[in-house]
Every structure is written in C-alpha cells, then in structure tokens.
Amino acid sequence: MEKKMLFPKTGGLLHGGDYNPEQWLDRPDILEEDVRLMKKAGVNSVSMGIFSWSVYEPAEGDYHFDWLERIMDRLYENGIYTVLATPSGARPAWLDAAYPEAMRVSSRGVRDRHGNRHNHCMTSPVYRRKTEQINRRLAERFGSHPGLILWHISNEYGGECYCPLCAKRFQQYLADKFDHDIEKLNKAWWTVFWSHRYNSFDQIEPPYENGERSVMGLNLEWKRFTTWNTTDFMKAEIAVLKEITPDIPVTTNFMTLYDGLDYRRMAPELDVISWDSYPSFHNDGEPFFETMAENAFHHSVMRSMKKDKPFMLMESAPGLVNWQAFNKLKRPGVHKLACLQAVASGSDTVQYFQWRKSRGSAEQFHGAVVDHRGTEDTRVFREVAQVGEMLQKLRPVAGTTVKARTAILFDWDNRWAIQGMQGLGRETKRYEETCMGIWKEFLKMGVEMDVTAPDQDLSDYDVVIAPMLYMLKSETAANLRAFVEGGGQLLATYLTGYVDQDQLCFLGGFPGDGLAELFGVISEEIDTLYPSDRNHIRFEDGREWEVRDYAEVLQVQDARVLASYTEDFYQGMAAVTCKETGKGKAYYVAARTAPGQMAWLFEQMLKEAGISIRQLPAGVEYHVRSGEEGTYEFYLNHNTHPVKVENVQGPDLESGAVVQGDLELAGLCTAVIRLQGTD
Ligand code: GAL
C-alpha cells in the first residue's frame, strides 16, 4: 500500500491557518508574540498573503516584499511553514481606479464599484496581466524560500461577470463548442420554441436578469462557461508559478457544494484539493449529528476529487464565525471532534480562519485562535492547543487515504439542469439534500462512500447509487451499463435519464439512452406530491416505505417487481424493481421515500457485495485510513453521552492504551486505533 504524504518536509499533518501579519506591521511585539503562541498551540503552518495586494504593491509597480520575507524567515526558524497565496481575491483601490474593467458587471448589466472582494472580472486582460505580474514577483522572490510548501491560488473563486468582455468571450466559447455552426446550437437549445432562433453567435447574450432566461441550454451553458472561464483564469495564475517553481504544489480553496462552479473541472489543474468548512454547529433545525454528518459528506466530496492522496482542510473556525444567521459558540470538545473528523475523512491538514482576530473591519468579530485579549489563557486557545497535541500523535496517519467500495453519483451539470427545469415542485426538488441524505445512510452503517461523477471510472466500486440522474451525458449511460454488466450493483431513482447534455428530452421513453433496457422499466409519468401528501410502497414481506414529494408511474418491461404503491390511482403498480444484467443488478426506486427508509435495501446490496457494515452505536462516526505504514480506524462520538463500541482491537494513537474488545468513548470524544498486523 502506498503512502503519499502531502508535505514530507513538515513530517506529517499540518496545523495552522490564515495569518494576516500585514495588519500588524506597526506592532512588532504582536508579531513576535504570534510566533511564541503558534509554537504553544502546536502550529506548524500558516497561510499568508491572501488579501495582501495593497501592502505588496501600494502603488502600481511599487513592490514591497521585505516585510513578508522577514516574517517567513522568522516562522521558518521556528518550524512554521508557509502556504503562500496569490492576492487576486481582493484588489487595491489604485487598480480599480486605473482599470475599471477589472470590476465585475452584475446580471442586471451594472458595473460594481470598488470594494469588497472576490468580485473581479475573470476575462479582463488587464486584470489577468496585473495578476500575472504580482504572481511572478511573488514566485521570483519567495519560490526558493525553504519555508514555502504550497501556493494557495486566490481565495474561494466564485461569482459571475456579465460585462461586455465576458459576453464576447461567451460567444467565442459557444462558437468553439458548436463548431462555429449556429444551426447546431439552435437545434441543441431548441430555440425555435417561442421564436428564439439565433442567426449568429454574436446575437447571443448571457442570461441577464432582464434578458433571455427561457432557453434552458443558454442558462446551463452560461454556468458551464463561468466554470470554464474561472478555470482558465486560475490556470493563468498557476502557469506563471509553475514556470518559476515547478516543484511547489498548488491548490485553491473550495467551498462545500458551491453552486456557481463545477469544482470537478477545476480539480485536474490542482495538485491538491483543499476546502473551507464552516458548519452551523448546534443549529436549531437539526440534531448535532446531522450537522456533523453533512460536514462529513462535504469532506467526502473533496476527498473523492483526488482519491489517491489526502486532501486539505484549508479553513475552519477555531471558535465562532461572524456571518451565519446566528453565530453560536462551538461547545467545549466540538472543536477537536470536528478537526478529527477532517483527518478521519482523509485530510492531512487542520487549518483555520484565522490565527488572530483583526481589530477592525468586517471580520473583527470572527473567531480566531488568538482573541483581542491576546493571550493563550482562553478556552478556544486551549482547545486549539489540544488539537495541536493530538495531531502530533497522529503523524503516522499522514499520507494514508480513505478507500471506498461504494459511491454516490453527484454532478454539477445535473444539479444545474434540475434547478433550471420548469416542472416538478418548486420547493421540493432538493437534489443536493437527496444525495446527502442517502450518503448519510451509508455513514450511519459505517460504510465509506465516495461522491463521484456519473461519467467517471466506476471500476473501484461494487455498489453505486445514482439519485435523480435527470441529465444523462452521452458517456454516462454506457458507463453505467458497463458497471452493471461487470458485476456492479446500481440503484437509480425517479427522475433518471430525462434529458441529454443539452437538456433535450430523450425520445422513446425515460430513462433514455438505453437505460430503460438496463433497468427493465419505462417511467411513464411523474407525480409531484404536495408537501402534505403521502403514499406508501409495500414489499412482499410486508415492509413499507413512506412516499413523499415524487412518485413515478412505471411500465415494467422485464424487471422483477420488489415493491408496489399502496395508494392512489397507481396503487398496486411497481415502485421498486430490479433487473439482472451481465454479472450485476440494476435497481430502480421510482419514488422519494422518507429519510432513512432505503437503508434496508442498501444493506441487502452491501451484503451481496461482501461489504461489511460496522455495527456502531447511534451518533458514532467511523472511518478507516490506510497506507503502506498502517491502517487506522477512527471513531467519533457525536453524542454528549458516553458510548461503547464493540469489537475494537489495537493501540489508541492518542492515549497509547491498547483496546481489546470494547472501546469506551466519553461524550464528544474520539479514538484513533492502529489496526494490528499492519506494521
Ligand atoms: C471564508 C474566507 C475567509 C474568511 C472566512 C470567514 O469563506 O475564505 O477569508 O472570510 O470565510 O469565515
């Protein structure tokens, strides 16, 4: 088994976070104190320069990097490595004054004024040039600094720009995509509808709020374009760094399932995936475990983008945040629990926003390791220091990865298509929640599940769940068919295979593109239920599932019917079916069911695949990381009460105690067990 440590020279796991020394350059005492406190907290890395452009270059062409060099040197002397950002996420005032085209134009066609951040035009040649210049200077100055371990490209890319430059670029993108043949586009977008035909690519406008929004293909292609253009901007940022520092890896920080960018298209350009995790801990809408399980799902989304290496938790709040509707404190113990969850899920880093609270401006009340009080004598600091200690003990885990034999298919294009389609229930489509809900069922069974794209290689998996796969791209149907024929078990649900990659409906019956044959059913109609409507599905053994929101009426071709509806005009008609093809099985569940109810069917599929279910007390999360040097089991108790987990054998990395049989976990406590025989 291979071990792929992300940052070998750090010797293991990173602990640290965003550090903004440029805010304290007139307080050398504070900068000195930071180093002392970082060592005390077990911090071995910081991310700097994320929003430092106006300090690096206070006036055009007037560069100042000495301050950063002094700080990087001092940190390095003290064993603290630097993740260095490119500063494109926020612009100095002089830049916007000199080059207004760098400022974004909104979907109503109005140009932003200077201010805020993450609001530049991705097309603007001037902005690209200014970014390239500063990135080049940074790489030339710091590329060979022994403390530099990673480039952090910009910050949380996002948003759209509707300026004339972007509109033009969009037209070029479309012309390239449709082979410069406008009739090809007209056909793909079905523009004859409502007389929306285009004569040439230069007639096509982005979907302005007060413009064309009824062409589904246009709306979707605009989203794809925004991802493409952002990725292109990011590639330009990366190119100059790679030219000067080919050996320094690059990342950019993602944000959960951010809707505006298809992260999977950006991932190949990055050496390592990183993301920012800010769950609403202790919210009043769900039990704590559900919040944590949701966070685990997001970890899995990130991990699955590069399965063969660890990912990075780039930001998380050491205390509270300041931007949620209610900024509740993390209860004692929760910090360590959440940090270990990241590592358990495959992260080799625990990084925070932020090291020290700023005195002024928008984030002055955002949590930090060091409070305005400026001392280590705080609850938050102590909890962070505990994490530092824990990460020291978990160093052997660095470089190991999480391996899954099950996967759920989640796809941004499909998500955008479902959002954009006119139909179903406006409030109840809930694609993301549906995927997450199913993923959580596997988490509760202690079974690792990747979150992968429908057109990706599925050969590592035995069980694949494909919820609401409304859009089937040309390669997807063949991919799914090959998976089943090769012995995989596939489960698809209502709303599978209605449209192709351009959102044209399949003719000849849903699911289209040959999937009706794979599942042995045709979905003739889909019923949207009112939120209070209920139906049921009954299996032969009397087991019943409750139906909510959506129920398809099926015509069964040659599938076995496992369960049927109990009510309404489709009472007695098939609701759950299975068809064997090649060496595998294709299940179809025609309705949305109440949370947790499909777990029984998932269990059957897992048993058949020989994947063991880990018996866990409710509220306990379980993961396994493995590599050439060992296999490690992670147990996280999200309950405030103690629990006992059975059948655990091996030394606990944190306490050193050897567990033989029962693992006793106190409330909100964790254990990492090294499996024996894996040395
Ligand atoms: C992130 C951002 C950070 C900081 C943080 C606050 O989204 O990247 O710069 O603003 O949120 O929670």
Ligand 1, atom 11, lies closest to the CA of 353
**What atom of ligand 1 comes closest to residue 155's alpha carbon?**
8
Does 33 participate in catalysis according to the annotation?
A: no
How far is ligand 1, taken at its centre, from the CA of residue 353, in Å? 6
pLDDT at 3: 55
- Atom 3 of ligand 1 has which residue's CA nearest to it? 353
> Which residues have CB under 6 Å of ligand 1?
155-156, 276, 278, 315, 321, 353, 363, 366
SS3 helix, strand, coil % of the chain, rounded to 5?
35, 25, 45
**Of 237, 294, 315, 448, catalytic:** 315
Distance from Cα 591 to the centre of ligand 1, integer Å: 39
pLDDT per residue over 616-637, tens digit each? Answer: 999 999 999 999 889 999 999 9
Q: Please identify which of the residues 156, 441, 552, 621 carries the catalytic annotation.
A: 156
Which mutation among 276, 358, 369 tests ligand 1's pocket best, with the greatest number of atoms within 8 A of CB? 276
**Ligand 1 atom closest to the CA of 253, numbered from 1:** 8
CA of 512 from ligand 1 middle (Å) equals: 42
Report the nearest-CA residue for atom 4 of ligand 1. 353
Please give the DSSP secondary-structure letter assigned to residue 505. B
How wide is the angle at C-alpha 235 spanned by C-alphas 230 and 237, nearest 5°?
95
Q: What number does the ligand 1 atom closest to the CA of 255 have?
A: 7
Residue ID of nearest Cα to ligand 1 atom 12: 321
For residues 572-607, one letter each, b for 16 or more C-beta atoms within 10 angstroms of the residue's C-beta and e for the rest, the string is ebbbbbbbeeeebbbbbbbbbbebebbeebbeebbe
Residue 87 and residue 90: Cα distance in Å, rounded?
7
Distance 22 CA to ligand 1 centre (A): 17
Output the pTM of the full model: 0.98
pLDDT number for residue 465: 98
How many CA atoms, within 13 angstroms, populate the side-chain half-sphere of residue 421? 22
pLDDT tens per residue across span 21-55: 999 999 999 999 999 999 999 999 999 999 999 99
Question: Beta partners for 587?
Answer: 491, 578
Please state the atom number of ligand 1 nearest to the C-alpha of residue 156. 8
Cβ contact 333:669 at 8 Å: yes
Low-confidence ranges of the chain (pLDDT < 50): 1-2, 679
Which class for 77: exposed (0-12), middle (13-18), buried (19 or more C-beta within 10 A)? exposed
Q: Is 156 a catalytic residue?
A: yes
